[in-house]
């Protein structure tokens, strides 16, 4: 049934029949091609990243540097992302989201190839930092384009599809990386360069900026940054982004392998298996999380996602067996699926008419969590134990949950059917 016919049929019915028809319209409406192509490009980015990142510390160590300098190579990427993020809005406003995404992906691709060719630690550090510049460009512009390409009633599904591209690539990459690393330590860097070239080409040939974007960029935003920051939806989304960056990309990645080997006396390979199983659970939960975000609202999905993530995080260091740990990681994956869709949709609701600057802030907050989280968790684990380290992430996730609960019902965007019931 076409969307036109559904809309006509709605005008002829009343009450629950009208609401049901509108819900069906929300679920059946296909996502724009731009959203689908963003998800495809995200897959290629993530599969290349998954291939390269495990060998990066080993390659850095081959130059005979200290553990601190090895960590600096890893942090340089995120640090440059954080530094360049405030300027990405001006870049995308000047040349458009499509070009910013494509150029950013190609910058990361070229820098990855140059990392593989690095003849010294200094060269490796430099080119890895340059990659962070390109990553900030395409990440922020891709999020802005995603939000601009769909209406409020489709933002949950669109965010879920986009996150799904990253997750599928992230699951595929390490398997390929293991084979390439057996060939040489530099092969994964060249593979990553190739996947970024493909992703950038997709951006240039398949993505399209929303109509009137250039004219809109030339006009003053209809909503100031101060108004966006004061919006409870934006604050809740940023807190959830901080929690996800802190816990997902920081504490969990750094400390779960230590738990597997140290506390649970298992082989190191089981850490990768546990993460892979959790990623499958997260990917499976994304479609439902996206639909729920659109149909019942951002606030309830954020609350459920925050509570699931916080509870599983708090229990993780006390897992009595590997099997229990995997279950807890899967629960966290389901919570992360909710936090990968609803906060992004809430961000789009709050920043409508405010340009790309709030999106850049949202991205920066997540980067701060990913940079500071592992460092803070390491200090906490050394002095007060694993419970304190994981508890730090729990506290941030619970703060985000409280912030989500404080979003007024009138601001919680839902499908047309649910809006009529208010």
Domains of the chain, by residue range, sit at 31-219, 222-417
**pLDDT tops 90 at residue 9:** no
Would you place residue 224 in the very low, low, confident or very high pLDDT band (cuts 50, 70, 90)?
Answer: confident
Could you tell me the fold of the domain covering 31-219?
A: Growth Hormone; Chain: A; (1.20.1250)
Cα separation of 346 and 334, whole Å?
Answer: 19
Question: What is the SS3 assignment for 1?
Answer: coil
At residue 8, the pLDDT reads: 39
CB 137 within 8 A of CB 84: yes
- Closest to 37 measured CA to CA, from 131, 158, 185: 158
Contact partners, residue 366, CB within 8 Å, separation at least 6: 241, 242, 244, 245, 249
Cα separation of 414 and 190, whole Å?
Answer: 44
Arithmetic mean of pLDDT, 2-19: 43
Whether 31-219 shares its CATH topology with 222-417 is answered yes
Tokens of 4: 């036109």
CB 102 within 8 A of CB 200: yes
Cα separation of 379 and 251, whole Å?
Answer: 11
Tokens of 368: 């701060």
- Closest to 393 measured CA to CA, from 411, 369, 413, 416: 369
Would you place residue 217 in the very low, low, confident or very high pLDDT band (cuts 50, 70, 90)?
Answer: low
What would the pLDDT profile of 254-309 be if each residue is shown by its tens digit? 788 778 878 888 877 687 788 888 888 998 999 999 999 988 999 999 999 999 99
What is the share, in percent, of the chain residues with pLDDT greater than 70? 86
Q: Which CATH superfamily includes the segment(s) 222-417? A: MFS general substrate transporter like domains (1.20.1250.20)
Tokens of 99: 């070009």
Q: What is the mean pLDDT of the chain?
A: 83
CB 228 within 8 A of CB 347: no
- Lowest mean pLDDT of 4-18, 151-165, 230-244, name the range: 4-18
- Closest to 389 measured CA to CA, from 247, 243, 280, 262: 247
Tokens of 324: 């229990």
Report CA Rg, the chain.
21
Would you place residue 215 in the very low, low, confident or very high pLDDT band (cuts 50, 70, 90)?
Answer: low
CA atoms within 13 A on the CB side of 257: 9
What would the pLDDT profile of 67-111 be if each residue is shown by its tens digit? 678 778 877 888 888 888 888 878 888 888 999 999 999 999 999
Convert 371-380 to b/e letters by CB count within 10 Å (16 or more is b): bbbbebbbeb
Within 10 A of 338 (CB to CB), how many other CB atoms are there?
31
Q: Locate tokens 């998800």: which residue? A: 39
**pLDDT tops 70 at residue 195:** yes
Packed helices 121-149 and 357-384: angle between N→C axes, nearest 10 degrees: 130
At residue 343, the pLDDT reads: 93
Convert 118-128 to b/e letters by CB count within 10 Å (16 or more is b): beebeebbbbb
Cα separation of 136 and 141, whole Å?
Answer: 8
Cα separation of 88 and 305, whole Å?
Answer: 29
Tokens of 130: 């340059």
Tokens of 5: 């016919």
Question: What is the SS3 assignment for 224?
Answer: coil
Distance of CA 61 to the CA centre of its chain: 29
**pTM for the structure as a whole:** 0.77
Question: What is the SS3 assignment for 320?
Answer: coil
What would the pLDDT profile of 111-131 be if each residue is shown by its tens digit? 999 999 999 999 999 999 999
DSSP 8-state symbol, 60: H
């Amino acid at each position: 049934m076409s969307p036109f016919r559904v809309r006509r049929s709605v005008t002829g019915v009343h009450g629950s029949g009208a609401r049901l028809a509108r819900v069906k319209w929300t679920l059946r409406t296909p996502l724009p091609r731009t959203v689908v192509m963003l998800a495809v490009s995200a897959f290629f980015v993530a599969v290349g990243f998954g291939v390269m990142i495990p060998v990066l510390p080993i390659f850095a160590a081959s130059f005979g540097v200290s553990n601190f300098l090895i960590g600096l190579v890893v942090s340089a990427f995120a640090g440059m992302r954080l530094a360049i993020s405030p300027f990405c809005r001006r870049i995308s406003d000047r040349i458009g989201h499509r070009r910013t995404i494509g150029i950013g992906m190609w910058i990361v691709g070229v820098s990855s190839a140059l990392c593989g060719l690095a003849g010294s630690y200094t060269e490796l550090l430099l080119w890895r930092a340059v990659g962070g510049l390109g990553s900030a460009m395409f990440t922020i512009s891709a999020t802005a384009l995603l939000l601009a390409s769909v209406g409020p009633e489709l933002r949950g599904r669109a965010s879920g599809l986009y996150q799904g591209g990253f997750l599928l690539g992230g699951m595929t990459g390490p398997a390929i990386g293991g084979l390439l690393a057996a060939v040489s330590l530099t092969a994964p860097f060249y593979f990553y360069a190739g996947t970024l070239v493909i992703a950038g080409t997709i951006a240039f040939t398949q993505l399209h900026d929303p109509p009137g974007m250039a004219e809109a960029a030339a006009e003053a935003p209809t909503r100031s940054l101060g108004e966006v920051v004061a919006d409870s939806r934006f604050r809740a989304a940023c807190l959830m982004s901080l929690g996800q960056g802190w816990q997902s990309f920081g504490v969990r990645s750094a400390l779960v392998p230590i738990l597997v080997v140290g506390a649970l006396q298992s082989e190191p390979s089981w850490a990768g298996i546990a993460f892979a199983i959790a990623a499958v659970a997260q990917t499976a939960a994304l479609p439902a999380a996206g639909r729920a975000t659109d149909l019942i609202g951002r606030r309830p999905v954020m609350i459920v996602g925050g509570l699931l993530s916080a509870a599983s995080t708090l229990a993780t260091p006390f897992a009595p067996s590997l099997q229990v740990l995997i279950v807890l990681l899967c629960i966290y994956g389901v919570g992360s699926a909710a936090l990968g869709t609803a906060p992004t949709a809430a961000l789009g609701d709050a920043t409508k008419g405010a340009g790309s600057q709030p999106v850049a802030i949202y991205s920066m907050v997540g980067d701060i969590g990913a940079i500071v989280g592992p460092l803070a968790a390491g200090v906490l684990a050394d002095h007060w134990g694993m419970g304190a380290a994981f508890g730090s992430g729990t506290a941030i996730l619970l703060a985000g949950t409280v912030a989500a609960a404080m979003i007024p019902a009138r601001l919680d965007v839902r499908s047309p059917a649910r809006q009529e019931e208010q």
